[in-house]
Structures are given as C-alpha cells and as structure tokens.
Amino acid sequence: MNKPTLLISALLLLMVWTAKAQTTPPAVVEDFKPSVVNQPGKQYPQVNSEGRVRVQISAPEAHKVQLDISAVKYDLVKDEKGVWTGESAPQDEGFHYYQLWVDGAAVPDPGSLYFYGASRWGSGIEVPAKDQDFYAMKNVPHGQVREIHYFSESNNAMRRCFIYTPPGYDQDLTKRYPVLYLQHGGGEDETGWSNQGRANLIMDNLIAEGKATPFIIVMDNGTWAMPNRPRPNPQAGPNQQARLAQGERPAGPWPPTGWADGFKKTLVEEIIPMVDANFRTLADQPHRAMAGLSMGGMQTRVITLAHPELFSHVGMFSGGSYSPEDVANAPGFKEKIKFLFVSFGSRELENRRAGFGGDPQANTEALKNAGMNTHFYVSPLTAHEWQSWRRSLYEFAQRIFK
Amino acid sequence: MNKPTLLISALLLLMVWTAKAQTTPPAVVEDFKPSVVNQPGKQYPQVNSEGRVRVQISAPEAHKVQLDISAVKYDLVKDEKGVWTGESAPQDEGFHYYQLWVDGAAVPDPGSLYFYGASRWGSGIEVPAKDQDFYAMKNVPHGQVREIHYFSESNNAMRRCFIYTPPGYDQDLTKRYPVLYLQHGGGEDETGWSNQGRANLIMDNLIAEGKATPFIIVMDNGTWAMPNRPRPNPQAGPNQQARLAQGERPAGPWPPTGWADGFKKTLVEEIIPMVDANFRTLADQPHRAMAGLSMGGMQTRVITLAHPELFSHVGMFSGGSYSPEDVANAPGFKEKIKFLFVSFGSRELENRRAGFGGDPQANTEALKNAGMNTHFYVSPLTAHEWQSWRRSLYEFAQRIFK
C-alpha cells in the first residue's frame, strides 16, 4: 500500500474501533458483594471492585424499572421470574444516596438502610474505599451518641440534637471537654453526621490511636430554625429520623433571606447554653469549635465571622471559604481564631463548583500569608459527597484543641 | 297481610337490606390529616377519625398499586395525572406497619418514616388514640436515649444497644438508679422500644407527673444472640437502623432450639455487667427488672425463671404467662420476685392468640392466690400491636421500684 492508502486504512480502522468502543459497554467485573449498609440479611444492593452498584427487585407486573444514582438513571432487566437486575457505572469511593423507579414511582430500595438526604429518607450505599479503615467499626473504646430533646424558646417548639460524648465520659466524672458544633448540609438533618458521616466512629478510632484530643460533638438541625420554615410536629416521637427536622426547601430563592441568621440565634442563644448546662464542657472560646459541610459550612462562616468571641477553631467543608475581605470586615476574627480549616473534594475543584466568593485555596493561602493559622485540604478523587466530608472531619479533628 | 305473608315479606326485606349492606361500602369520613410520623413536609399518608389510612403515590406508568396494612391489600385508584390514591378499612388506635405494592414490587411508602419490624425497615403510621397524651412529646424534662457500642466476647462481635437515662441523670452525679432490661418482639430490634414504642417519652411524662420512680432502661437486641444466626457486618456504621441486628427468621422450627438461651448468656454474662460498669446503676436484684413484648416476653419468662437472684420485677407483654408449674419448678422464684406483671391486648384474648401454655389470666390469678404480687392488665380494643405494649409499659413502669 502507498502512503495515502495506508493512512486511509488506518483512519478507517480507527473509526471502526472508536465506533465499537462507543457502542459496546465495558465488561462488568463480576465480583459484586452486598453493600455494608444493607438491611440485615439482604443480598442486594451490591457493589463490585469497580465501584458499580447493582440492584435487584422483584416486580413481576412492572414494565420499566430503573436505578437512579448520581443523577443518572440505569434501566434494569427483567428475568423470567419477574426479578429486575442492573448496575450503574462506577461510582466514587464512599457513601451515595440513590433510589429506584418502578413504573414511574420513585421509591426506596427495600434492600438498603435509609438515610436522610435530598430532603427525604431514602436508600444509601457504601462503595468500599481504600482508606475506609478510619471510619470502620472496631473493637476500641467507643463513645456514645445521645439523642437530646430540648425546648427552644425562640422557635417555641421542642427541638432535637445528637451529641457525641467521647469514650470515658461516664468514667471520670470530674473531667471537662472541649466542644465542636458540627453542621449537616442542605436537605440533610441532625442524623447525617453520625449515620452517613460516621463522625462517632471517626472520633473513636482517632482517640484510640492517640491522634485526637477527646471532645464533645453537637449535631443539631441547621435547617428548620430558618425563618418561615414549617414546624416539626410535636407529636412526632423520639430516636427517629428527622421527626424534629424540616428538610423540604421552601419556594423562592435559595438560600432564603436570613437562612443563617435563624440558626445563628438558635445556636448562640439556646443550643450552646443548653449544652454547657447539661454536659461537662470547657465552656469558653478556646475550647469551642464550629464546622459544617456545604450549607453547614456557609452557616459556619456567617456565624463565626459574627461571633469570633465564641469560637476558636473553625472548619468549612465544601462550603466556600473565608476571603481576606470577610476577615477584614469581622472585628476580632483574625486575632481570636486559632485555626481555620477549609476543604473540598478534588472533583469539586475540577468542576469549579467551589466558587462561592472566590478561589478557596487562594483565599485560604492569603489568610495564611496574613498571619492566620490556616489549613487547606483536598479529598482525592471525590466530589460534593460524604467521603469528602468524612475525610475533612478526620483531618480537622486531629488539628483542633491541641 | 296474613301472618305468614308478613313474615315472608319481612324476611325478604331483611335479605335485601343485608345484601345492600354487604355490597355498598360504608361512606368514608373526609377528615383525613397527615400522619404524625410522616417524613418532614409530606402530606401523605393520612389518617381519618375512623382510623382509615389513606395513601397516595405518583406512579404514572403503573397498572396496579395497592396499600398493604394489617394483612389486607387495598387497591388504589389512578387519576388523570398518574397519581394513585386509596384507603384502608378502619384500623385500631396506635402504631401500624404497612407497605405499598407497585406492579408487584413491595416497597416502603416514600411519604412515611421507617421502622424496623417484620424483619425489615418499612413504613409505619400512627392512628391517633384517645389516650395518646401519655406518649406525646411535651415540654417536660427529657431523658436521653444513648446509642452504645460494646464488644461481646461470647458473640465475638461488636454489639449495639440503646440506653434510656432519665431526666437529671447528668445533673446529680452521685445518684444511682434501678434498671429495666426491656426487650422487643420477633422481627424487631433494639430500635423498636424507642422508635415505635416511645418508651422514653412514656417515661419522661410519667416522671414529670411523679407517677414513676426514675430508672434506666436498657434496650438490646434479643434476636441475633441466638445460636446459628448470621453475624452483623462489622463494617456497618453507627446510630443506624439494625446495623448490628439480624431480623430474618432462619429456616427450620420457630423459635429455634436454644433461642432464649443464647440471649440469656449474653444478657447475664455481658450486657448486665457492661451496664453496671458504665452507668450509675443500683447493681442488685431489688433494683433490676426485666420485661419484653411477644418474643421478648417469652425470653423474659425463660431468663427470669432461671435467674430470680438477678431480677425482682418482671413484665410479660403479649408473650404468654407464668404457670403455677413454671414457678413450682423454679427454685427461689416465688420468694424473690417482688412483682409479676402480665398483659395482653383485648383482641388477643378474644382471638385466643394468648394461648402459650394455658390461660394467662387464670395463671396470673393462681399465682396471686398462692401469695405472689401479680397484676394482669388488658389493653382495651387492641391486638398484638404496639399500642398494647405502650400501654403495658405505662402500667408496668408505675408499679416497679416502689
């Protein structure tokens, strides 16, 4: 063949190969195992070593069933017994919300445990992560997660929070502890940080390895203290999923006007005094921290800029950053804040979802150059999702109250 | 008309009336309100003043959707937008499990909160009860429900329990408390007594009214300590729904051989010592009680007959009774047990579901006549369901540790 003929042949081959690659889905690795957050005894959903999620549901009379995960819907295939099975593309390591569609009905998967996110109780799945050891359940001394009900004057309602007390809290009754106020994201509630985030296991493991100072963590609801949110029903019972939460986004602009102010008032005037009155806290600014993810990070920013006399250690996970202008306009903030931590998932930075008020890494470095003790952390190969926030808490918790 | 003609006419009229009554469904009272255990912001499911449950779900491509409650399936009706709606017959007052069927798929209702029962996490609903005040969330001092993780040598695994500490437990650090070990039923787990049972609200309200001595309640998992049950996955996380439970019934006879012995060993050798080591208990027989519902009542019977040196107050809710022969064959039981409480829902007695080893009321009265301090309680117009057990705890808790 002459050169032009050779070139044309090569191009044709390339085109055929490309077309084949586009139409033939990649082979699925058949090493699926049940998800570790399945309901007891349930074999599905499953996850394979690529991070694909496979679901299965019996629906003999249905004509269309789909798996809906990470904003993509995957068609399932029906067998002769009426059982539908199918899997997703590979997912990032860590925790993901998902749901099923059965003939147009969006429903939870009957095989999974349920988690509050996207303003609903729905299915969740764990894609095993290379670093999953830091949030694994181990035979180490464990703290407690306590469900607390208290009356809020400003909301004129009963509220609920979960409070983590570290191992040993009930042994040495003379010891007092620092406190971290740790907030969930939009569409989530006070159950998120322990259910999806595994905040208590992260702390138990860090403390067992001597890597973190033991402290109390207060996980309250940052959503329904906002103005004009419907009240939770006071008949709703205890120890249960969002009974005292309101996760639906209201109509109108988001976040609504005053969204952080409502929670600021509740936190500063009611939650902190309630915690200091009922737990053995070190009730002063040097021993009080605040952090949050996404919307909770934005609330952390607004609240700590307004009240640097209350908090010394601050963490903002996937929620933006503090700009030099923020700090310049917040009297006392620069001097009083002993540690400022800002983090994102690497895919958030790639996707420029980290915009909120300027480049977060540049902002954080500018504050460091101006003399503040800051730390910028990037979670490898994760997006705006719980694996980023577990890792952020793990990094943050080792650096506070030292 | 002569007398035979009159009689025949009357009979015909009666037949017509009866046929009409059988074929015309009674009118539904249109005063439905959202259930108090709905997810935040969800308008369905709803309940009306008759106790009917109305559900609604969008499923535009489905051709058959049903509500499945109290072992009856009700067809829903589709509107022009593809939204299905329908209601059940009147239900008993109190809490009920239910599910939906969408074209043959059994799924949770996306509108309800989820509860562990029937060996799965599924939908639940509250039919308002005339006596619901005793388990309502009120602005009274509240105790805490604490999630505890501990290592069990005999199970060679991490286990989980929930422990209720009464109001004031964290204020007066010198005070010690009696303890009630309180067990769930078959297909349920350690979350049942606080989620469905509202044990903590019942206690908070009783204590606020001065009707009960404050005590600690330990709610552990009575199922997966049984022999030959699969272990929970140690990767499963905290503060979550049955991660350390196993609710599926194994193949073979039920209960399996040794079903109570497995939990007896775990309770006596591990749970009680763990609780006495980590909580401010009054760690002796006069200040220790055990009670349970259904399977948990049967476990209570086996364990307290074997160990009257450990427990002084005993409660058996819808789980059978202690016969005079039981007591005669259990050395020390008659002398050491200070109070023996046996209860059923009235519909259980009507339906003769209360059989387990003789008539429970006759057995309990025989023991009273033999000199024991017993109490037999019947929950009005309820069956083998949570309203019977909430009321049983309410009655039991007022009579122990006095």
Instruction: State pLDDT tens for residues B97-128.
Output: 999 999 999 999 999 999 999 999 999 999 99
Comparing CA positions, the residue from B195, B179, B214, B169 lying closest to residue B287 is B179
Characterise A90 by phi-psi region: left (phi > 0), alpha (psi -120 to 50), beta (else).
beta
**A41/B119 Cβ within 8 A:** yes
**Which residues in chain A touch residue B85, judged by CB atoms under 8 angstroms apart?**
none
pLDDT tens for each residue of A334-384: 999 999 999 999 999 987 655 566 799 999 999 999 999 999 999 999 999
| C-alpha span between A80 and B370 (Å, rounded) | 64
Position A6 pLDDT exceeds 50: yes
Spacing of C-alpha A38 from chain mean position = 19
Cβ–Cβ below 8 Å for A103 and B198: no
Most B CBs within 10 Å, among A64, A68, A240, A276, to test the B interface: A240
Phi, psi angle pair for A322, to nearest 5°:
-95, 125
pLDDT attached to residue B358 = 79
Q: What's the confidence (pLDDT) of residue B367?
A: 98
Write out the CATH class of domain A133-224+257-397: alpha beta
Give how far B148 is from chain A: nearest CA, Å: 6
pLDDT digits (tens, 9 = 90+) for A156-177: 889 999 999 999 999 999 999 9
pLDDT bin (cut points 50, 70, 90) of residue A7 is: low
Between B296 and B238, where is the model more confident?
B296
Residues of B in contact with A243 (CB under 8 A): 37, 113
Chain A residues 59-118 within an 8 A CB cutoff of chain B: 59-65, 82, 100, 102-108, 110, 113-114
The structure tokens 């607004």 sit at A302
Judge whether B334 and B386 are in contact, CB under 8 Å.
no
Chain B CB contacts of A278 under 8 Å are: 170-171
* Shortest CA gap A111–chain B (Å): 9
Q: What is the pTM of this model?
A: 0.89
> Which residues on chain A are in Cβ contact (under 8 Å) with B279?
170
Please tell me the distance from the alpha carbon of residue A87 to that of residue A53, in angstroms, as a whole number: 5
Tell me which residues of chain A, numbers 120 to 159, contact chain B at a CB-CB cutoff of 8 Å.
Answer: 120-122, 126, 132, 135-139, 142, 144-151, 158
Task: Judge whether B33-128 and B133-224+257-397 match in fold.
Answer: no
Q: Do B245 and A40 touch (CB under 8 A)?
A: yes
The pLDDT of B197-207, averaged and rounded, is: 98
Contacts of B248 in chain A (CB under 8 A): 40-41
Residues 287-326, chain B, touching A (beta carbon < 8 A): none
Give CATH for domain B33-128: 2.60.40.10
A10-14, A114-118, B57-61, range with the lowest pLDDT: A10-14
**pLDDT tops 60 at residue A153:** yes
Tokens for A64, please give them. Answer: 């269309």
CA distances from A105 to A78, B34, B110 (A): 17, 20, 9
Minimal CA–CA distance to A303: which of A273, A287, A326, A274? A326
**Looking at beta carbons, which residues of chain A come within 8 Å of B138?**
158, 234
**Is the predicted ipTM greater than 0.90, yes or no?**
no
Give DSSP secondary structure letters for A265-287. Answer: HHIIIIIHHHHHHHS-B--SGGG
* Structure-derived torsion over alpha carbons of residues A56, A124, B159, B386, reported in degrees to the nearest 10: -80
Give the residue extent of every domain in chain A: 33-128, 133-224+257-397
